[in-house]
């Protein structure tokens, strides 16, 4: 008859409580703020607070609150509105100089007890908070051609070094490398030598020609490396710009999406992103680097660098052994003892220099220097002054423990260190060129408007529905409305927990999911009415109505979910937000319609002995 | 006269839908042909997402005269600029087509500022609310993926409904869904509004809404075939009538919540809301007038044997709560 197990009540109460808790952070507004981070070697302390206050006082901006976090080495200046945020960030950028990175930020005002429960608000998409969205296309063809050129050049070097005369070694249009030898007799020997040096390539020999092909797996690796390299470079660049929560994602095989919330000046952002990094191998000079740092006197032919990892000084020879442009690949790998290592391949010319250097310097240290050229624009007397800031840091120092040439390994690293070093080496070697293929700028005021519009639309969708139901189904309409409200809360909670990004189409998805979640409830209520008309007693009508409606609800909703999944799979960005809200909305509505409303109805009617009519 | 229970339609409707099934199908076919013709002839006002190029949303201090903005832009060499009012009266959308096979959007940074300066009317300056630039290659891929998504959804429907019901139901449900999407797409073409990404999403979610309606009717048909002794036409009629109130109420409520989106969601969601409103109307009509009638003709003719409970269904039903 009309029964409802106790454990389901407990489940409902639990779900509603947890959902409410995790949906809660979304109602706390975010403060526009400016975050100040120290670059290496500078501290953020209370003294900085004084400087910041005086800079802000000069431009007449009132900070709502200044929080200093000495642990994390950053400082948060909360402001009243977006306009104050813009003015404060400009003032601080010029006022604090280069020792600090100043970033725009939307600071959370969620109370600590919620944060401790890991409850956090949904991320706002760019269309809701303003900012820049770029899509960049990586020129995979160029990356590929560079690698093929390197292979061809290596092949020539091998033939030359072994005194095998050849007419030509050329790249063909189809991606193969063809070596034409002077005499057929040499073919077999050449083939063996090439095979030893370039084991990855597939070779075929026919009458004095050796055709070398790069296998498919290797081609894919080259493409994957090229894009990953670019993403690393971009990340370093964007850290320099100072954006609080940038999104840098790979999209498909050859695109990178970059989203910079709060940034409005695309020209500046593009310049920063277009900056380049290079690297170089140098010999470490013996001598007391600390002494040199203290006195400023360096041994002749050397320069003083800072080690990125230790912050200490290092003396290096001025003569370059190999540069990033000459590097063919750098991979995180494992050495023969199974320890993490980075294996590096240079081109033939650099390999030759490396061989000469290592032959003479076994047991001595060699260092890698990472050079970043960061474009800068400073305002001096109202004039824009453009310049480059070049930062050079030692990223690795290792002892040469044997003679090697083109290929070598850097060992003695932790796994994480090896990964980082490989990534840095790659981003310092010439990455594949990138083109901007899409650019969107959303003004901050528009973002604010979009949030208001979205919330208003969802609220009205909810109210219209509520009004209709109360009128049409009376008591059961009330039950349905409660279910709808739960539904909305559950969707918000799920999206917050999974850290989904809310976009304007996401709001549309919410409004639609309210419209769709009605469906299950209508099916149930209409079924109950039908049973009542057929003369079934009220309690039985409720039970039968629920049971019979559940099949239809299930089938109808699975297809809806299918459509949502397709949208997600084929869509990008904002469309995905729309798809996620739809699917989560449908799932939540199945739960609320079949379980929550039934629980409430049972609570209301099950104990009534003489139930004659239902208000439905 | 009793007010409660409130009903939109009589509680026991007995409309003979099947009598007009021939006419309904003819009208449906005519609508389909008409829709395809409209789409072919009228085409779409494709947004930037599909064409590539640059779009700039400007906000003026006072309501701006679109004609004046257009002529100002034409004078400065942007003859092809499309200018339209957007959302509130103070907002104007300016669109510039991509130059041929333009891949990169590097050149557009200066363009945005130039358009803003050109379009500013003396005494009524414009500020840039948002701007977008998209290379033409990105947009070409997008259209491909949209078609892929639609095919994926249809195939998914075919498989799922074929498994849960029977293949004839699957074919008819997918066909009516496709019909709904095409009619809504044609309607949208007639409005002449911008066809952007959100409209595309709207069309794809129309598929979800329309199949939902059809399945509820089919679900009743399946149930009645198993429990009622009557000829198929009678069963179809009864099923449609029994689900009629639910079909209409759901559509009305759905329409209401989308209307809220249309009224309050702002300019960029109007297109999406329109597709949903049209979808609610067409989806409901097609599930009432087209879905069941199609199951009575030719190779799609459904008989009682088609729906006799199969062992797997029984097992599946038993497992379900």
Question: CB count, 10 Å around CB of A455?
Answer: 13
* Mutate which: B198, B200, B208, B219, vs A, most A CBs within 10 A: B208
Lowest mean pLDDT among A513-517, B128-132, B150-154: A513-517
Alpha helix locations (H) across A177-263? 187-197, 216-241
Check A437 against B134: CB less than 8 A apart.
yes
pLDDT the model gives residue B278:
95
| Whether pLDDT at A241 is above 70 | no
pLDDT in tens, A320-336: 888 877 887 788 888 88
φ, ψ of residue A139 to 5 degrees: the values are: -80, 90
Q: Is B66 on the interface with A (CB under 8 A)?
A: no
| Whether pLDDT at A109 is above 60 | yes
pLDDT band at B1 (very low <50, low <70, confident <90, very high): very low
- What distance in Å separates the CA atoms of residue B168 and residue B171, rounded to the nearest whole number? 5
- Reduce the secondary structure of A74-141 to three states and give it as a string: EEEEECCCHHHHHHHHHHHHHHHHHHEEEEEEEECCCCHHHHHCCCCCCEECHHHHCEEEEEEEECHH
pTM of the model: 0.74
pLDDT band at B106 (very low <50, low <70, confident <90, very high): low
- What distance in Å separates the CA atoms of residue A425 and residue A320, rounded to the nearest whole number? 16
- What distance in Å separates the CA atoms of residue A513 and residue A585, rounded to the nearest whole number? 5
Inter-residue contact B160 to A472 (CB < 8 Å): no
Q: What is the DSSP letter of B259?
A: H
| Whether pLDDT at B179 is above 50 | yes
| Token pair recorded at residue B237 | 């009629």
Q: Which of A481-490, A552-561, B134-143 has the highest mean pLDDT?
A: A481-490
Q: Is the peptide bond before B312 cis (omega within 30 degrees of 0)?
A: no
| Token pair recorded at residue A338 | 């199974």
| Whether pLDDT at A23 is above 60 | yes
Q: Which of residues 526-565 of A touch B (CB under 8 A)?
A: 526, 529-530, 533, 548, 550-552, 554-560, 562-564
For residues A115-136, give the mean pLDDT: 85
Q: Is B40 on the interface with A (CB under 8 A)?
A: no
* Mutate which: A258, A491, A519, vs B, most B CBs within 10 A: A519
In chain B, residues with a C-beta closer than 8 Å to the C-beta of A439 are 105, 108-109, 131-134
Check A441 against B131: CB less than 8 A apart.
yes
Give how far B321 is from chain A: nearest CA, Å. 8
pLDDT in tens, A463-482: 988 888 888 888 888 888 88
Q: Which of residues 429-468 of A touch B (CB under 8 A)?
A: 435-443, 445-446, 449-450, 453-454, 456-458, 460-465, 468
pLDDT band at B266 (very low <50, low <70, confident <90, very high): confident
> Where do the domains of chain B lie, and which CATH numbers do they carry?
12-45+139-309 (1.20.1640.10), 53-134 (3.30.70.3400)
Check A468 against B269: CB less than 8 A apart.
no
pLDDT the model gives residue B184:
96
Give how far B19 is from chain A: nearest CA, Å. 25
Q: Which of residues 267-306 of B touch A (CB under 8 A)?
A: 268-269, 272-273, 276
pLDDT in tens, A540-593: 899 999 988 888 888 888 888 888 888 888 776 667 778 888 888 888 988 898
Question: What is the average pLDDT score of chain A?
Answer: 83
pLDDT in tens, B224-247: 988 888 888 899 999 999 889 888
Question: What is the average pLDDT score of chain B?
Answer: 83
| Whether pLDDT at B108 is above 70 | no
| Whether pLDDT at A382 is above 60 | no
> Could you tell me what percent of chain A has a pLDDT over 90?
6
* Mutate which: A522, A590, A614, vs B, most B CBs within 10 A: A522
Inter-residue contact A225 to A252 (CB < 8 Å): no
Reduced to 3 DSSP states, what percent helix, strand and coil does chain A have, rounded to the nearest 5? 50, 25, 20
Name residues whose C-beta falls within 8 Å of residue A313's C-beta, 6 or more positions apart in sequence: A289, A290, A292, A293, A304, A305, A306, A307
- What distance in Å separates the CA atoms of residue B175 and residue B63, rounded to the nearest whole number? 46
Q: Is A616 on the interface with B (CB under 8 A)?
A: yes
Inter-residue contact B240 to B213 (CB < 8 Å): no
For residues A351-359, give the mean pLDDT: 90
In chain A, residues with a C-beta closer than 8 Å to the C-beta of B216 are 523, 552, 556
- What distance in Å separates the CA atoms of residue A211 and residue A309, rounded to the nearest whole number? 45
- What distance in Å separates the CA atoms of residue A125 and residue A447, rounded to the nearest whole number? 9
pLDDT in tens, A256-288: 888 888 777 776 677 667 666 677 889 998 888
Q: What is the DSSP letter of A325?
A: G
> By C-alpha distance, which of B100, B127, B124 is closest to B113?
B127
pLDDT in tens, B200-216: 888 888 888 888 889 98
């Amino acid at each position: 008859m009309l029964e409802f197990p106790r454990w389901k009540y407990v489940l409902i109460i639990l779900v509603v409580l947890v959902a409410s808790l995790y949906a809660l952070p979304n109602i706390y507004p975010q403060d526009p703020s400016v975050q100040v981070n120290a670059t290496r070697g500078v501290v953020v302390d209370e003294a900085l607070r004084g400087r910041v206050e005086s800079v802000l006082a000069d431009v007449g901006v009132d900070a709502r609150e200044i929080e200093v976090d000495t642990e994390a080495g950053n400082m948060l200046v909360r402001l009243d509105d977006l306009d104050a945020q813009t003015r404060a960030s400009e003032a601080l950028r010029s006022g604090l100089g280069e020792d600090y990175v100043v970033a725009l930020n939307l600071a959370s005002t969620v109370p600590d007890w919620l944060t401790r429960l890991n409850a956090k608000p949904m991320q706002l998409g760019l269309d809701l908070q303003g900012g820049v969205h770029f899509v960049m296309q990586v020129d995979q063809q160029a990356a590929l051609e560079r690698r093929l050129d390197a292979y061809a050049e290596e092949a020539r070097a091998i033939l030359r070094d072994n005194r095998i005369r050849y007419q030509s070694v050329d790249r063909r249009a189809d991606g193969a490398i063809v070596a034409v030898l002077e005499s057929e007799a040499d073919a077999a020997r050449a083939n063996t030598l090439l095979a030893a040096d370039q084991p990855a390539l597939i070779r075929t020999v026919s009458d004095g020609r050796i055709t070398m092909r790069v296998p498919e797996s290797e081609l894919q690796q080259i493409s994957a490396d090229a894009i990953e390299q670019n993403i690393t470079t971009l990340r370093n660049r964007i850290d320099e710009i100072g954006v609080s929560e940038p999104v840098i994602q790979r999209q498909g095989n050859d695109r990178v999406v970059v989203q910079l919330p709060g940034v409005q000046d695309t020209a500046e952002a593009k310049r920063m992103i277009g900056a380049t990094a290079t690297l170089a191998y140098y010999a470490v000079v013996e001598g007391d680097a600390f002494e040199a740092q203290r006195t400023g006197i360096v041994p002749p032919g050397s320069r003083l660098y800072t080690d990125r990892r230790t912050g200490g000084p290092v003396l290096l020879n001025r003569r370059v052994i190999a540069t990033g442009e000459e590097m063919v690949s750098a991979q995180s790998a494992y050495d023969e003892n199974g320890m993490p290592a980075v294996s590096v391949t240079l081109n033939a010319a650099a390999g030759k220099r490396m061989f000469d250097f290592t032959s003479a310097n076994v047991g001595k240290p060699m260092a890698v220097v990472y050079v970043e050229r960061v474009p800068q624009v400073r305002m001096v007397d109202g004039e824009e002054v453009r310049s480059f800031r070049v930062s050079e840091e030692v990223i690795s120092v290792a002892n040469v423990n044997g003679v090697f040439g083109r290929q070598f390994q850097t060992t003695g690293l932790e796994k994480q260190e090896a990964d980082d070093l490989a990534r840095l080496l790659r981003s310092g070697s010439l990455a594949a060129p990138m083109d901007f293929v899409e650019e969107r700028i959303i003004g901050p005021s528009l973002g604010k408007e979009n949030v208001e519009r979205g919330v208003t639309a969802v609220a009205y969708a909810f109210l219209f529905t509520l009004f209709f139901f109360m009128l049409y189904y009376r008591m059961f309409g009330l039950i349905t409305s409660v279910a709808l409200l739960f539904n909305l809360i559950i969707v918000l909670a799920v999206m917050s927990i999974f850290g989904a990004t809310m976009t304007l189409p996401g709001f549309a998805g919410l409004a639609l999911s309210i419209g769709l979640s009605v469906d299950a409830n209508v099916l149930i209520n209409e079924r109950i009415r039908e049973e009542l008309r057929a003369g079934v007693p009220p309690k039985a009508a409720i039970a039968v109505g629920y049971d019979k409606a559940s099949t239809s609800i299930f089938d109808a909703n699975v297809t809806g979910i299918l459509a949502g999944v397709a949208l997600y799979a084929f869509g990008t960005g904002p469309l995905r937000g729309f798809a996620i809200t739809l699917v989560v909305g449908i799932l939540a509505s199945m739960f609320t319609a079949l379980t929550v409303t039934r629980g409430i109805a049972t609570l209301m009617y099950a104990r009534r002995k003489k139930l004659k009519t239902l208000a439905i | 006269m009793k007010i409660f229970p409130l009903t939109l339609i009589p509680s026991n409707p007995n409309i003979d839908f099947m009598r007009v099934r021939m006419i309904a199908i003819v009208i449906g076919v005519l609508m389909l042909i008409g829709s395809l013709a409209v789409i072919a002839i009228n085409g779409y006002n494709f947004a930037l997402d599909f064409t590539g190029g640059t779009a700039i949303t400007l906000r003026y201090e006072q309501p701006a005269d679109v004609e004046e903005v257009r002529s100002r832009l034409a004078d400065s060499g942007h003859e092809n600029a499309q200018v339209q009012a957007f959302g509130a009266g103070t907002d104007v959308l300016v669109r510039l087509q991509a130059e041929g096979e333009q891949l990169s959007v590097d050149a557009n940074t200066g363009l945005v500022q130039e358009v803003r300066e050109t379009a500013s009317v003396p005494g009524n300056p414009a500020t840039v609310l948002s701007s977008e630039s998209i290379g033409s290659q990105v947009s070409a891929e997008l259209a491909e993926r949209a078609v892929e998504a639609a095919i994926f959804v249809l195939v998914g429907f075919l498989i799922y409904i074929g498994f849960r019901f029977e293949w004839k139901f699957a074919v008819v449900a997918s066909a009516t869904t496709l019909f709904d999407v095409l009619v809504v797409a044609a309607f949208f073409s007639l409005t002449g509004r911008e066809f952007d990404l959100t409209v595309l999403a709207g069309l794809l979610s129309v598929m979800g809404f329309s199949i939902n309606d059809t399945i509820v009717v089919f679900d009743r048909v399946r149930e009645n075939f198993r429990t009622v002794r009557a000829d198929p036409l009678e069963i179809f009629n009864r099923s449609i009538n029994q689900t009629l109130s639910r079909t209409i109420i759901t559509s009305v409520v759905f329409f209401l919540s989308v209307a809220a989106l249309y009224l309050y969601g702002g300019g960029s969601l109007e297109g999406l809301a329109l597709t949903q409103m049209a979808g609610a109307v067409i989806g409901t009509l097609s599930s009432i007038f087209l879905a069941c009638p199609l199951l009575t003709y030719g190779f799609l003719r459904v008989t009682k044997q088609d729906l006799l409970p199969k062992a797997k269904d029984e097992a599946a039903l038993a497992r379900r709560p």
